[in-house]
Structure 1
Amino acid sequence: MQQPTKSFRNNLALLLRARFPILYVESFEEERVLAEVRAVASDQSLMRTVRPVHVWSGTKGFVAPDGQAQGNTSEPRQALEWLLERDSPGVFIMLDLHPHLGDDRRPADPGFLRRLREVSFAFQSGAVARVLILVSPITRIPDELEKDITLVDFPLPNEEEIRRVLEDMVATNAASGRIRIEVDNVGKERLAKAARGLTLSEATNAFARAMVDDGVLSNDDVYVVLEEKKQTVRKRGILEFVDVNLDLDDVGGLQNLKRWLVKRNNSWLDEATIEYGIPAPKGVLMTGVPGCGKSLTAKAIAAAWELPLLRLDIGRIFAGLVGSSEQNMRAAIRTAEAAAPCVLWLDEVEKGFSGVSGEGGDGGTSSRVFGTFLTWMQEKTSPVFVIATANNVSRLPPEFLRKGRFDEIFFVDLPTRSERRDIWSLHLTKRLKSSKAGGAIAITDALLDRLAGVTEGYAGAEIEQSVVSALFDAFSERRGLTQEDLLRAVHNMVPLSVTQAEQIAAVRGWASKRAVAATATEDRSGYESAVEADRPAPSAEPSPEASMSRGGRVVDF
């Protein structure tokens, strides 16, 4: 596979030799673009005729290769007049011309556009090899010039280029003795991968910030680089950079899903590809009962893998003018790939793509956007791990579920007795660690066993809210938390297993053959045992947990 920079050079050389009159390069890194254009124009292995490069800016006008300003050419109209008078081979670059090409609020000067078209015709039909290259951070092409201008993709720096910058900075600072270098080769690879999606200037700033933060460059400084990447993602507006401060250990239960995820940690590194020949994992779809840890797991895996977590809000995609939804989806995909390796999270995906069946009355926009996303998921090679969560899997189109889109589909059921015990322990420990309410109660095995027994059929979120509700009771009387507070909170709550018993039974039936159980086999045993005698029942009816078999195929990882 060609490296991005090499691919750009070869593509540019082909366009120059074919005498394309006007090229357009969108990039914030104009110095990198200028360096690449000069390299191509002076390379006799790529170009039969070496061509001088003239650069225009609104402050200096055209400047020749020797640094000499070319007459009175600072005004764009004057610059185009000067171009039409050239009768020798050359590459002419104009920087930041986009303000003169108009936009939705202010159209461009028709006379200026006419002059650009005349330049295009003269360069294409003339006997002398000339080309005009427009370099801007924004792509803006008026309809009148659509057939005259050719867009040329200029990639962000690849991992190899970023690694060279990092190595140079390490060598320079190690020699000076002002910065202590404690990063190994694996750490350098992780730092370089974390900086993907940044410009060279941004990557340099991120590495410099990591060095001066504590005077040490270490493997842990990948978090500093991710902070810089967070700024880039937020500026683009389509994706949300989610801050996480938890780990997989903060998720109670779901051991089968956890083991699957742990085995794939660091699988985007070169070691996995070169030494084992395995591709980066595509992603997982998590479906199941609401409030049982799907979204929490998405956050935890990004933290555990030390990767940025980007949240794609489908509502942001379907906004704006006609045609902008498709453009927004493409922009979101580009941002995610630029930030790779990363985790891309789609929460409650069935709601975001509810109109893909054609019944949404949006003229097929939902279907087109959905198709773009599906194609990308199938064909993507960049290490973007997609985590999609869904509560109502029946609303998902079949093509979203077929193999190749996701590596695995996991079903997250109501927690088993063992998992409930872990969830109670997690939330009580977290809430009582620095709380005055913790003085009156000890988190013992007996307490956890009893709480797990009386909450059969309760989701993890419902157990958490039981702890919060009990703490409010203790706070109102300014006393310590007691076991009676917790039991009362459980008794006063009607769980989803009662209010949505039919829906849970239906989704379990679907998952029994189509999804893998997120709960490990050892945690499923004894799940359907009878409710303990001291459980304060939330209703007069027996718990539906006593009669419903658990969903998800039993597969251990």
Structure 2
Amino acid sequence: MAESFRTTLAQLLKARFPIMAVESHEELRVLFEVRAVAGDAGLVRTPRRVWTWSLTDGLRRDDGEEQARTKDPADALDALLRMQEPIVAVFRDLHPVLGATGQPGDPAVIRRMRDLATAFRAGAVPRSLVLVSPVNRVPVELEKDVTVVDFPLPSETDIRGVLDGMLRANAASPRLRIDLDDSGRERFAKAALGLTLHEAENAFARAMVNDGVISVADLPVILEEKRQTVRKAGLLEFIETGPRLSDIGGLENLKRWLGRREGAWLADAADYGLPAPRGVLITGVPGCGKSLTAKAVAAAWGIPLLRLDIGRVFAGLVGSSEHNMRSAIRTAEAVAPCVLWIDEIEKGFAATGAGDSGTSSRVFGSFLTWLQEKSRPVFVIATANEIESLPPELLRKGRFDEVFFVDLPTRAERGSIWQVHLARWMRNPRVGGALTVDAAVLAELTSLSEGYSGAEIEHALVAAVYDAFAERRPLRQDDVVRALVNMVPLSRTQAERIAAVRAWADARAVAATAAEDWDLDVPQPRPEADGPHRSHGGRPVEF
């Protein structure tokens, strides 16, 4: 990454580009790279001296020479215009005087910069100005004179160098035990991707002092540092990854597929020539575990879970939606490897371009292009309840690795769901004690909950605990039975809607339920020729 920046900068300097803008919080890294390029005759042919300017120090040369009375940016630019030697001037944090959105900048500074661009282009000696600031702010008057240069965040190699250096520096400390092999160090370096070198160093230092041992168990410390990055960006939400895949009852086909892709962004997968997995689109009956799966995947893989709210993308000032989408994507890639969760994606992209001057279409196009071309390990999990309303271009191969259909739970899956929720409640001494969860109890509850979604089973159990709480006693089996009998499940109130979703998924999606768990006890239309494996929608595939 640094080599790419060096190559680009060297080309721009040789081509006598007068003004370049670099957006970065890491001005020291930028200065290091600029000095490396400016002083290398093999890169720029004519080596140049580097001057730096800031509001606090004024204009200074690397050898310590200072230009007096140059703390004012206009005076500093005048001093540059008088210099007749090969130079590269790096101005730090000039953006406040260049104006903001809807606010004009300092006209004297902007005018001098236009004069400087003209003089630098026509001068006999090579001179260039590099603007370094954490925000990219180029006033309209300078748009044709300023070239924006991308400065990437530290690469895995850069971060690995910081980690190895810190481990060497602290290896002799009796208060620290290092329990990291090469694989663990790789995980640490990949986990810190998206952080600046300073942020990564802080995270590693915190992991070391946390408990006196640095091991893969300290990876959550790195993720906490990334959480701060996401919060500052504002468009994505960092979600706590509480449940595990084992906490989800059923969906064995989907869980098996996800389990086989764990760690697919590490070097071991690269040795196989495998690309990082792109993501999955999960559709199906509401309340059957689609969103819970997104949270569980991030927890199982030990990587951050980010939630993208499409509504936030379209919020804000007119014309900002495209920028918001690009910013959200850039933040997700900076935090990678991560899981990007887009819940109910059809709410944001179902009717793109309708009555909004094409804004939705442009945002959707940017998102599709990124899905197709992304190279960073951002695993996208999109969920949809009304998938037939999604544009067909989102569903074609290349956007997602697979489309899964989650149906109402089968008998075997309902048994697993009851076990998960009952075990959680029975651990509470105020709730457990009166109810013995044995095979007979599970069999009865499984039969009574025929046609219920996982969310409805959970809600029925919560309602039963409320009944027990009202009488200040432990939970009884009849409480649960009564809650089930009194509930009207979605399979009855939305029978036609569920049948339509199944019909769509029958030949277009993979069943999330494992073949060994299929049964025919859920009320639904039964195909005559295809046999029982078609009863829950989605083509049967073994992973």
2:540 aligned residue? 554
1:161 aligns with 2:161: no
2:448 aligned residue? 454
Q: Mean alpha-carbon deviation: is it higher for 299-308 or for 431-440?
A: 431-440
Residues 498 and 544, structure 1, Cα contact 8 Å, conserved in 2: no
1:528 aligned residue? 521
Task: Report deviation, 1:546.
Answer: 8.0
Task: Report deviation, 1:235.
Answer: 0.6
Residues 21 and 131, structure 2, Cα contact 8 Å, conserved in 1: yes
Task: Report deviation, 1:486.
Answer: 0.4
1:349 aligned residue? 345
Task: Report deviation, 1:440.
Answer: 0.6
Q: Secondary structure of the residue that 1:139 maps to in structure 2?
A: coil
1:72 aligned residue? 69
Residues 87 and 128, structure 1, Cα contact 8 Å, conserved in 2: yes
- Of residues 297, 304, 308, the one that matches 2:300 is 304
TM-score by length of 2: 0.97
- Of residues 277, 283, 290, the one that matches 1:281 is 277
Instruction: Please list the CA deviations of residues 127-170 of structure 1 after superposition, one character each: whole Å capped at 9, or x if unmatched.
Output: 11000101000111110010010000000000000000000001
Instruction: Please list the CA deviations of residues 199-244 of structure 1 after superposition, one character each: whole Å capped at 9, or x if unmatched.
Output: 0000000000000000111111111101110111111101111011
Paired residues for 1:8-47 under 5 Å: 8-47=5-44
Task: Report deviation, 1:555.
Answer: 1.0
1:361 aligns with 2:355: yes
Paired residues for 1:83-482 under 5 Å: 83-104=80-101, 106-274=103-271, 276-356=272-352, 358=353, 360-482=354-476
Q: Mean alpha-carbon deviation: is it higher for 169-178 or for 152-161?
A: 169-178
Residues 528 and 545, structure 1, Cα contact 8 Å, conserved in 2: no
Q: Which amino acid aligns with 1:97?
A: L
TM-score by length of 1: 0.95
Task: Report deviation, 1:43.
Answer: 1.2
How many angstroms apart in 2 are the aligned matches of 1:400 and 1:355? Answer: 12
Instruction: Please list the CA deviations of residues 360-397 of structure 1 after superposition, one character each: whole Å capped at 9, or x if unmatched.
Output: 31111111100100011011111110000000111110
How many angstroms apart in 1 are the aligned matches of 2:244 and 2:520? Answer: 26
The runs of 5 or more residues in structure 1 that have no matched partner are 530-542
Moved over 6 A (4+): 545-548
Task: Report deviation, 1:111.
Answer: 2.1
Q: Secondary structure of the residue that 2:340 maps to in structure 1?
A: strand
How many angstroms apart in 2 are the aligned matches of 1:179 and 1:244? Answer: 29
Q: Which amino acid aligns with 2:234?
A: G
Q: Secondary structure of the residue that 1:45 maps to in structure 2?
A: helix
Instruction: Please list the CA deviations of residues 276-323 of structure 1 after superposition, one character each: whole Å capped at 9, or x if unmatched.
Output: 111110000000000000000000000000010010100000012222
The runs of 5 or more residues in structure 2 that have no matched partner are 528-533
Q: Which amino acid aligns with 1:263?
A: R
Task: Report deviation, 1:109.
Answer: 2.1
Q: Which amino acid aligns with 1:347?
A: D
How many angstroms apart in 2 are the aligned matches of 1:549 and 1:258? Answer: 20
Q: Secondary structure of the residue that 1:168 maps to in structure 2?
A: helix
How many angstroms apart in 2 are the aligned matches of 1:178 and 1:484? Answer: 57
1:485 aligned residue? 479
How many angstroms apart in 2 are the aligned matches of 1:368 and 1:312? Answer: 17
How many angstroms apart in 2 are the aligned matches of 1:126 and 1:36? Answer: 25
Q: Figure out how many residues of one structure are paired with residues of the other and give that number.
A: 537
1:535 aligned residue? none
Q: Secondary structure of the residue that 2:341 maps to in structure 1?
A: strand
Residues 499 and 525, structure 2, Cα contact 8 Å, conserved in 1: no
Instruction: Please list the CA deviations of residues 32-60 of structure 1 after superposition, one character each: whole Å capped at 9, or x if unmatched.
Output: 00000000011121021111100001011
How many angstroms apart in 1 are the aligned matches of 2:536 and 2:139? Answer: 59
Task: Report deviation, 1:544.
Answer: 4.6
How many angstroms apart in 2 are the aligned matches of 1:341 and 1:527? Answer: 40
How many angstroms apart in 2 are the aligned matches of 1:115 and 1:70? Answer: 18
Task: Report deviation, 1:176.
Answer: 3.0
Residues 196 and 338, structure 1, Cα contact 8 Å, conserved in 2: yes
How many angstroms apart in 1 are the aligned matches of 2:439 and 2:153? Answer: 55
Task: Report deviation, 1:527.
Answer: 2.8
Residues 102 and 108, structure 1, Cα contact 8 Å, conserved in 2: yes
Residues 441 and 483, structure 1, Cα contact 8 Å, conserved in 2: yes
Q: Which amino acid aligns with 1:345?
A: W
How many angstroms apart in 2 are the aligned matches of 1:40 and 1:111? Answer: 31
Residues 350 and 391, structure 2, Cα contact 8 Å, conserved in 1: no
Q: Which amino acid aligns with 2:456?
A: E
Task: Report deviation, 1:105.
Answer: 5.0
Identity %: 62
How many angstroms apart in 2 are the aligned matches of 1:450 and 1:224? Answer: 45
Q: Secondary structure of the residue that 2:22 maps to in structure 1?
A: strand
How many angstroms apart in 2 are the aligned matches of 1:317 and 1:442? Answer: 50
Q: Secondary structure of the residue that 1:150 maps to in structure 2?
A: strand
How many angstroms apart in 1 are the aligned matches of 2:262 and 2:286? Answer: 27
Residues 415 and 459, structure 1, Cα contact 8 Å, conserved in 2: yes
